[in-house]
Structure 1
Amino acid sequence: MKYLLLSIWCILLSLTATSQTPTSLQISGKIIDTVAQKPIGFATILLKNDKKIQVKSVVSAQDGSFTLTGLSAGNYSLVIVIVGYQTKTIPVVLSNTSKNLNQISLVSSPTQLKGITITGDRPLIKQEIDRISYDVKADPESKVNNVLEMMRKVPMLSVDGDNNIQLQGNSNYKILINGRPSGMVERNPKDILKSMPASSIERIEVITTPPAKYDGEGLAGIINIVTYKKADNGTNGTINVSERFPVGGPGIGGTFTAKTGKFGIATNAGASLDSSPQLTNSILRLTQESNPTKLFQTGTSDYSGKSGYVGAELSYEIDSLNLISGQINYNANSNESLSTQNSVLNNTTSMLQRYNLNNNSTGFGDGIDAALNYQLGFKKDKNKLLTFSYRYYQFSNHQFNNVEVFNPFAYTEPNYKQDNTGGSVEQTIQVDYVHPFKKVVMEAGIKAIFRDNSSDFEYLSLNSSGSYILDPLRTNVFDNQQNVYGVYNTYQFNLKKWGVKAGVRLEQTQIDANSSGTILDKNSLNLIPSISVNRKFKESSINFGFTSRIQRPGINQLNPFVDRSNPNFTSSGNPDLKPMKGHSIEMTYSRFKKLAVNISVRALRGTNIIMPSAITVGTVTQNSYANTGTATLVGLNLNLNYPFNSKLRGTLSAMANYGMVTAKINGVELENKGLMRRAFTSLTYRPTKTWQTTASVNYNGPNLSIQGTSNSFVFYSFSVNKDFLDNKLSLSFAANNAFNKYRDNIRYITGTGFTQENFSQNYQRNFTTSINYRFGRLKDSIKKNKKGINNNDVSQGTSL
């Protein structure tokens, strides 16, 4: 495999020899009004090559002059566009000298426009060949909600009672920011997305058939959050300030984009406080052995936390053939909570055990990633690109528990403290090459990821002299090194009404792990094909997709740290986990008339699935993970969007997945199957151009796992939005679950010889006020590298 990667690397490097230095040819001119003979400023000038592909754009100065520089010889079309004038196209032939077109006269349109009024609504959902996207900007509630709340509306996505995101009922996916991995969402996604105002993003894409250029991991697919559109000369930005009460807290976030000449920058940042009052919880566990027992625990907990993020993407266009770009992101969060617990264990005749405890818990963590890309173009065809990329990423999470025991009966454990630090460091090197032919675009690349997962945890017990002593049997240092080598080749072409993306990826994984002296050494080679086909009709389209995927476990699943914050229910990772494998096939129908319809059917088959497992040993239930599962998921997604009139629009989204799971836990074969369902509907009323109101209802059905299921719940909201200053300033108000103060979150678990019911109370009623301000003006778009590093290869979590 190493020799194969080295050979391909040499081939791609040799392609740089075909690139040539850019010439200094240019096209200049001056735009004037035909009748008034006065200059026309701020007209948009587009330059297209002989393949009708735009290669340059510029805006005329106030005196009507313009200059397009850095051009090579060839045949071009110059297109001039400005409101109030007829669009003009001029053929231009460049040989060995620059060309001055002198004065270019524009004829005014027969009907002068005082302004542009959009009478139709932007479509919320767009179907592409390999993905479906949700236009967040077109949703009025984006001005008052955070990104996590908006994900409840996105087709194929759902958010459970603990704010965990799922893609078609599956937690094995990857989140990207602007098509690239970001430390903002790799370490602790739900906290960051709760602090990110939805007004700072453009759209959310769900990629269920990822092309071979993406890493092979992510059984369910990829969620891509696009934070901004292409920026232009000048500046542009948004600022959002919100307050959520009686729970939640204040938040602030925004974006800023600027371009001046060849340099461009796009930033986004945000921070929020989050809090919850004291809530109740309970666990009921019944064992059905020769001596049946009943364990009943009741408790309370409160929570407060804060989180923040900042990110930037920079671009510098050296000339028309050379581009340097980079990105840097940083995020951090901290939290603290105080929980109490009363525990009583009985058999059929007497009390076996009792204790009370207090748990002071704190946690904090941070993550940073930085990337650098160099993109090389080619003189003969600027759509042919060679890109070299490097990325560094690291994160750490720290958890500390201080547990005090009171009123024990037949319980001998003293007070204790546990301290756990886990994290990951990785470096990635990647080379990508894009070569367009007449009707086919070929892409190829190689990649190497060097990842080091580690953890260090301690358990300290209180002794008779009042000192905390380290317990070596409950203390461990863990290190897991993963080296991933990949090579891919994809082809995309369009033929009349047909579009096809097809490719294959080959990945080799080398794992070397050490857990307290125990050495684990594993290697695997995976071939990952993918294909997407699109057939367009007059007002509709049909898509077909097939792909194979794998999923490597992350540090949270590998970490052997045993969490004993609840003495009767421990949880830990498993350092011996192996990657999961899966295949998916889907078909989608989209219709674009007044009633917009999107219907998709998908089947997913996974083997070697990492399943959470729970077994009871004595008085303790042990929770961990194992590669013992096989899962099949068959799902139907429906999305409807209908404008009843110019003021009222309705949407409906529904998802139904039938899941079948089998696994061996504690030597016993288990099977579970059932229907997982979700529905969302909303009505948006716009009585005037500046007022909007939206009412929505979100239903989440039970979520299936190998050993149980959860209860269903309903989330509903009402929002009002008022725009000022030509839609630059917005004031918004939202009421979420106004008539229900709490939501019950219940998880039912069945294991060998026991049944269990976990109950927790969530505070769901809140009211939000928000101020959103847009500023700036844009002209020419920032040039960004078209390739970069996408490490979508680590599991975000685990469930069917």
Structure 2
Amino acid sequence: MKKLILTAICGCMAAIALCQTNTALIKGSVTDSATQKPLSYITLALKDSTGQQSIKSTLTKPDGSFEINQVTPKAYQLVIIAVGYQAKTITIPAFSKIFDAGNILLANATNQLKEVGVTASRPLVKQEIDRLSYDVQADPDSKALTAMDMVRRVPLLTVDGDDNIQLQGSGSYRIFINGKPSALLASSPKDVLRSMPASTIQKIEVITTPPSKYDSEGLAGIINIITFKKTTDGYNGTITSRYSYPWGPNLNLTATAKQSKFGMSGYVGVGRQSINTTRLTNLRETYSASQPTAITSTFNQDGIYTWGGNYIYGSTEMSYELDSLNLFTASVNYNRGVFRQDFSRQTAFTGGQAGAQSYLLLTNGNFDWEGLDAGFNYQLGFKRNKQQLFTASYRYSYYLNGQNSEVLATDRINYDVPNYNQFNDASTKEHTFQLDYVHPVKQLTIEAGVKAILRGNYSLATGQQQAGQGFVDDLTRRNNFVYDQDVYSAYNSYQLKLTKWTFKAGLRVEHTRVNANFITNNNTLLKTNYTNAVPSVSAMVTLPKNQSLTFGYTTRLERPYIFQLNPFVDRSNSQYINTGNPNLDAVTSQLVEITHTKTGKGTLSNKLSFMYTGNSIVQLIKLVNDTSTRTFANAGNTKILRWNISGNYNITNKLSVNFNSGLFYVWLKGPFNDRFYSNEGIRTNTFANVNYKLTDSWQLGATGGYNRRYINLQGGSNDYPYSSVSASKTFLNKMATITAVVNNPFQRYFDFKQFTNTPDFYQGNTNRQFYRTYNISFSYKFGRLSSDIKKNQRSINNDDKSSAGASN
């Protein structure tokens, strides 16, 4: 036995020695041809003699040297790649043990560009079978602007003067971060997007006909903000500091790292919203029932709004590749903000039931938010086909919105409402379990899956009323609300790819169970169950001369969200109150669209779409006892016919233009508060951006846009124009960038007005916005990478809840 073991050991040692004698070494160094300085962390790829197959890759050391060990001694091609330099290929002849490539000189890429006179620009917009994507990293202004600024530039999206977002003219949509929903973005997207730097975003996708693997929520579709970039062996990162006047500073770090089977990617940032003060006005005129033109009462408020605070955000995604078939990933997203908000409103009221009144209304308080998403995924691959996948996923999501206000009145004339405090915490917690399977069969890809979302919502509201020198609990302001919603779903979809045609079709079935309880309202219970079948069909055909035609049809669903259901009565302005409606029903819509796209030196896309929504959830105002109450109701039948044209074109090698314009007609009608309303009209949104590459390191830009007013069931808003100019400079071998942007240089303020006009009353609310803003940012890249990180191709997407948005 001992002889047998000894023989085996000797055989292994001989085999190892034989292998070592048949391996060779390739070495050398890389140097800047102009400065003669060594270039560290430059990527080198070793390929076979034909240049078709990759053998190995490595990075240069800090002194510029490199070694590629244990290669078979034969002929190769060595490719050297570096950002800012001309790629170079070295032919390595057959050799025995060591090949010394010597000192390899890399020329600056700018020299080569000047010699051949060719430059290339990444297209900003790309049309796919069911979505349109905007490449944020190809926009030179992205380093200095916020995510909200970039959303204004994306085709099919509209942002008004109060930063409310619409998708194809609708305020019902879902917002994802990296293909995953965020409960926080569902309730308050503008607050989060204002604080998120655009430098963390890779691209923004607008999915207008989501396939069946997505939950059915979002009448107009899905906005997917992709922040994570591919990470590779080694590490890299970008640190960006930004200051915006008058908003304040922001510091952000984006980093990626990968070592062997483990990879990590993420970003973290902090910011401060400077304390700012702007003006606001409220006007309400009440009409006589017998004489519609006669004004019976007038309510005026003229005051100031002061706000500011701090915020922090972070996101990370990790992966571990056990082997080529087993992959584990995990992700965590966190966002928190704490803001101060104070109002001072000089109020005058004439002609009401209580007679003439005047007082100074002071509202002092805070609002804060906190959101957490954490998920874990396991992906199993199959040897027969790399596209065959099974994925099991779990996700936990939590968010909390808190509000507290102290409401005081001074300088009172005929106003006897006591001072009071109000508090409200509204929260959502949800657990999601999901299984997905992808099975390719030649040109056909079959997908199927099941999912369960267990969601709990609650609202805890309390209040106090002044009594003497102190405050006592006011039971009339207490309202505890629990709303549990469980959604069980299954889907099956098919995608067929032919030579010129691509088809995608599927069906999703969702069963919803609702259990609500008004704890302080005699424990009133609300239970309901409903089932929805949601089809989705898309087709894309490739035409001659780089053209394509895309068709899409889908049915979408909107479930009411906690901020719409919450019965908490916000009385921070005693005669302009806001509340939710816990009796809201789910809403369905029908969407059909056709898109023609032509690519070449530039891209031109034309989209025509029509959407119908019955019994849609809209925000409305009713007047009761001289008090305006804003709430939500299933009161609108909506039709939107839209034509959108977008494109980008390189006029010269240095000058490029990007534009998009939407023209749509809106019809609205529906009953509310024992009256039937209707409204219709034309809306537009137009945007254009021009970029000029002054030199290889300098870029200049100019932007302009115009949004035609919103059209609501009871009113609308004023028009909204905007503009900006920008300049950016790269240096330190393109590792550092400084960018400056001036938004709306010709106008310091903009008064955004929203109005309601009914036979009973007119109400106008005007908020003054800071319009002229200055942004300057500095970013620096560090580190080097060399191979892609693994990510699950399927994960949890809870796109079954509506997002906050403005009306049509």
* TM-score bucket of the superposed structures, by smaller chain: 0.7 to 0.9
Give the match for residue 728 of structure 1: 735
Q: How many angstroms apart in 2 are the aligned matches of 1:459 and 1:57? A: 70
Q: Does structure 2 retain, via aligned residues, the 8 Å contact 1:30–1:64?
A: no
Give the match for residue 57 of structure 2: 59
1:144 aligned partner, one-letter code: A
Q: How many angstroms apart in 2 are the aligned matches of 1:559 and 1:80? A: 64
Give the match for residue 539 of structure 2: 533
Q: How many angstroms apart in 2 are the aligned matches of 1:128 and 1:690? A: 32
User: For 1:772, which of 776, 779, 783 is the aligned residue?
Assistant: 779
Q: How many angstroms apart in 2 are the aligned matches of 1:485 and 1:103? A: 64
Give the match for residue 170 of structure 2: 170
Give the match for residue 269 of structure 2: 270
Give the match for residue 674 of structure 2: 667
Give the match for residue 410 of structure 2: 406
* Distance apart, 1:106 and its partner CA: 14
* Distance apart, 1:556 and its partner CA: 0.5
2:152 aligned partner, one-letter code: R
Q: Does structure 2 retain, via aligned residues, the 8 Å contact 1:183–1:331?
A: no
CA displacement 1:425-483 (0-9 Å, x = unmatched):
000000000111111111100000000010000121111x3221222222110000000
In the alignment, does 2:256 pair up with 1:257?
yes
CA displacement 1:389-427 (0-9 Å, x = unmatched):
000011111101101112333322100000011010000
Q: CA 1:720 to 1:665, structure 2 compared with 1: closer, same or farther past 3 Å? A: same
More off after superposition, 768-777 vs 180-189: 180-189
Please state whether the residue corresponding to 2:120 is helix, strand or coil. Answer: coil
Q: Does structure 2 retain, via aligned residues, the 8 Å contact 1:243–1:249?
A: yes
Give the match for residue 389 of structure 2: 385
* Distance apart, 1:309 and its partner CA: 0.5
CA displacement 1:771-799 (0-9 Å, x = unmatched):
01122212110011100000011111252
In the alignment, does 2:44 pair up with 1:42?
yes
* Distance apart, 1:198 and its partner CA: 1.3
Give the match for residue 586 of structure 1: 593
Q: How many angstroms apart in 2 are the aligned matches of 1:271 and 1:492? A: 43
2:150 aligned partner, one-letter code: M
* Distance apart, 1:613 and its partner CA: 1.4
In the alignment, does 2:643 pair up with 1:601?
no
1:152 aligned partner, one-letter code: R
In the alignment, does 2:367 pair up with 1:345?
no
How do residues 323-472 of structure 1 correspond to structure 2 at under 5 angstroms?
323-347=327-351, 351-463=355-467, 465-472=468-475
Give the match for residue 239 of structure 1: 239
Give the match for residue 230 of structure 2: 230
Q: How many angstroms apart in 2 are the aligned matches of 1:513 and 1:301? A: 36
2:478 aligned partner, one-letter code: T
2:163 aligned partner, one-letter code: N
The two structures, once aligned, show a CA RMSD in angstroms of 3.0
Q: Does structure 1 retain, via aligned residues, the 8 Å contact 2:125–2:647?
A: no
Please state whether the residue corresponding to 2:642 is helix, strand or coil. Answer: strand
CA displacement 1:517-556 (0-9 Å, x = unmatched):
1111111100001111111123111111111100111111
Q: How many angstroms apart in 2 are the aligned matches of 1:327 and 1:259? A: 15
Q: Does structure 2 retain, via aligned residues, the 8 Å contact 1:84–1:113?
A: no
Q: CA 1:542 to 1:87, structure 2 compared with 1: closer, same or farther past 3 Å? A: farther
1:564 aligned partner, one-letter code: R
* Distance apart, 1:33 and its partner CA: 8.5
Q: CA 1:499 to 1:220, structure 2 compared with 1: closer, same or farther past 3 Å? A: same
CA displacement 1:61-109 (0-9 Å, x = unmatched):
85445799xxxxxxxxx99966544999xxxxxxxxxxxx9999999xx
Q: CA 1:514 to 1:104, structure 2 compared with 1: closer, same or farther past 3 Å? A: farther
Give the match for residue 124 of structure 2: 124
Please state whether the residue corresponding to 1:473 is helix, strand or coil. Answer: helix
Counting matched residue pairs gives 739
Give the match for residue 679 of structure 1: 686
Give the match for residue 279 of structure 1: 278
1:310 aligned partner, one-letter code: G
Give the match for residue 517 of structure 2: 514
1:130 aligned partner, one-letter code: D
Q: How many angstroms apart in 2 are the aligned matches of 1:150 and 1:158? A: 11
* Distance apart, 1:577 and its partner CA: 0.9
Percentage of matched positions with identical amino acids: 38
Q: Does structure 2 retain, via aligned residues, the 8 Å contact 1:210–1:530?
A: yes
1:524 aligned partner, one-letter code: Y
Give the match for residue 723 of structure 2: 716
How do residues 687-766 of structure 1 correspond to structure 2 at under 5 angstroms?
687-766=694-773
TM-score (normalizing by structure 1)? 0.87
Q: How many angstroms apart in 2 are the aligned matches of 1:770 and 1:654? A: 29
* Distance apart, 1:30 and its partner CA: 7.0
Q: CA 1:184 to 1:573, structure 2 compared with 1: closer, same or farther past 3 Å? A: closer
Please state whether the residue corresponding to 2:801 is helix, strand or coil. Answer: coil
Q: How many angstroms apart in 1 are the aligned matches of 2:55 and 2:386? A: 15
Q: How many angstroms apart in 1 are the aligned matches of 2:703 and 2:690? A: 7
Give the match for residue 311 of structure 1: 315
In the alignment, does 2:198 pair up with 1:194?
no
Q: How many angstroms apart in 1 are the aligned matches of 2:161 and 2:146? A: 16
* Distance apart, 1:719 and its partner CA: 0.8
* Distance apart, 1:386 and its partner CA: 0.6
Please state whether the residue corresponding to 2:492 is helix, strand or coil. Answer: strand
Q: CA 1:323 to 1:294, structure 2 compared with 1: closer, same or farther past 3 Å? A: same
* Distance apart, 1:382 and its partner CA: 2.7
Q: Which runs of 4+ in 1 moved over 3 A?
A: 27-34, 60-68, 78-88, 101-107, 111-118, 182-188, 348-351
Give the match for residue 629 of structure 1: 636
Please state whether the residue corresponding to 2:387 is helix, strand or coil. Answer: coil
Q: Does structure 1 retain, via aligned residues, the 8 Å contact 2:26–2:68?
A: no
Q: How many angstroms apart in 2 are the aligned matches of 1:498 and 1:254? A: 43
Q: Does structure 1 retain, via aligned residues, the 8 Å contact 2:184–2:399?
A: no
Q: How many angstroms apart in 1 are the aligned matches of 2:387 and 2:100? A: 31
CA displacement 1:242-284 (0-9 Å, x = unmatched):
1112x10001113101111000000111222123532221111
Q: How many angstroms apart in 1 are the aligned matches of 2:71 and 2:431? A: 42
* Distance apart, 1:664 and its partner CA: 0.7
How do residues 98-177 of structure 1 correspond to structure 2 at under 5 angstroms?
115=109, 117=113, 119-177=119-177
Q: Does structure 1 retain, via aligned residues, the 8 Å contact 2:388–2:440?
A: yes
Gaps spanning 5+ residues in structure 2: where? 1-18, 28-41, 60-65, 81-86, 290-294
Q: How many angstroms apart in 1 are the aligned matches of 2:171 and 2:792? A: 30
Please state whether the residue corresponding to 1:268 is helix, strand or coil. Answer: strand
Q: CA 1:685 to 1:402, structure 2 compared with 1: closer, same or farther past 3 Å? A: same
**Larger Rg over CA atoms:** 2
Give the match for residue 657 of structure 2: 650
Q: CA 1:377 to 1:104, structure 2 compared with 1: closer, same or farther past 3 Å? A: farther
Give the match for residue 18 of structure 1: none
Give the match for residue 98 of structure 1: none
Q: CA 1:551 to 1:87, structure 2 compared with 1: closer, same or farther past 3 Å? A: farther
Q: Does structure 2 retain, via aligned residues, the 8 Å contact 1:212–1:488?
A: yes
Please state whether the residue corresponding to 1:704 is helix, strand or coil. Answer: coil
Please state whether the residue corresponding to 2:691 is helix, strand or coil. Answer: strand
Q: How many angstroms apart in 1 are the aligned matches of 2:97 and 2:592? A: 57
How do residues 605-620 of structure 1 correspond to structure 2 at under 5 angstroms?
605-620=612-627
Q: CA 1:106 to 1:178, structure 2 compared with 1: closer, same or farther past 3 Å? A: farther
Q: How many angstroms apart in 1 are the aligned matches of 2:453 and 2:512? A: 10
Q: Does structure 1 retain, via aligned residues, the 8 Å contact 2:275–2:309?
A: no
Gaps spanning 5+ residues in structure 1: where? 1-26, 35-39, 47-51, 69-77, 89-100
User: For 2:503, which of 495, 500, 503 is the aligned residue?
Assistant: 500
Please state whether the residue corresponding to 1:235 is helix, strand or coil. Answer: strand
Q: Does structure 2 retain, via aligned residues, the 8 Å contact 1:187–1:395?
A: no
Please state whether the residue corresponding to 2:595 is helix, strand or coil. Answer: strand
Give the match for residue 7 of structure 1: none
Q: Does structure 1 retain, via aligned residues, the 8 Å contact 2:353–2:626?
A: no
